[in-house]
Structure 1
């Protein structure tokens, strides 16, 4: 004889028919501040970038200037918060710890831009060749680092001078292309990555968990008689250096732990 369904059984069947709310529905019940805090733990590329594709609300929060600043050469509305027409303007407006996303398309002019606060500069393309920072002649360097910073997914090209001049802090270069003039005069040729001479740089010391030095990984360095000149700690990991004049290829797989 079949058992008569109890009231509790009927409740369970009704709950199963309704189903449970999806994870996206639950997370969307959070307020904007909570969601933005969650997004802040995501890596800018590709995770945080991908969250902006979910919906209009997530795009607004994922692109909020509290999480990162954007550089777009073609911007017309300069009143838009967190968006700047030049790298120099974005660096000046950035707060310590900010991430600056540099848009693809065209060439961004940079010249002796000093990085005096911890920043992360990232190219917005899938490949570093899609986002180019160009430094014309007459400048000592494209970017000069006086504070712990990171450069990722970018092409930096200097006509005559250093692409990157490191003076202080820990500089991390990851997944970039660094280029200088392929055939400069020998007596004018400059290293592509250079650290300041000891008389211009205080002795290396650990401050806030960071050590002064340069770390280069998954990066291609092209052109010039000298690739890297350093008087500080240097770590090279899977770095490809091309000396264009002789068409010789130098492969580095060296790891020197920063002190």
Structure 2
């Protein structure tokens, strides 16, 4: 009779007691590193734009002075990090050779860093414009601002808007045609075929008129709309406004 042999059951595999490998932590830091590099790079771009804006202002002022203009300010400040350039000039003054001038206690300009060909300008405490023969006129209002775009072209687009304006001649100056206006707008737009469109609008203005116009208007408010097209714009060159118009 054959004898049975007893076989042992197969041994179970020995579990691997080694601790599982830890995932590398670099993957957690990569987004922060990328963000830090982006911030540093953008900061460098802003610092360069800040310095370039200062150089352009000085160079532009020197070119105007060489052409006979009077250009000055008492303080210049450039802020706006990280996405804008805010340029504030204290007591800026510009006067062209024929006598027309513009001044303000404070002038604020702003442009986005990705669109430096468009600037918004504000005179929050008013401005003064000077006439060659009539003298200076002080202008105050709720809003006095302007915008200029496509500044690198021969004729940039320009817009001005003022609300609740008051016009007061300086001491010794001649009266101005307007003493007040609810709203004043002026727009200059470059067009095709060497042309440009000009629009001037005055809403509810209080005028100082004489003669027939004074008798017709009386004390009633006046409104003005002037819409015109200028041709041969490329010929408007000169060191002063009268020279540009004569050309």
Larger Rg: 2
Bigger proportion of residues as strand: 2
Which band: TM-score by shorter chain?
0.3 to 0.5
TM-score, normalised by the number of residues in structure 2: 0.34
| TM-score with structure 1 setting the length | 0.33
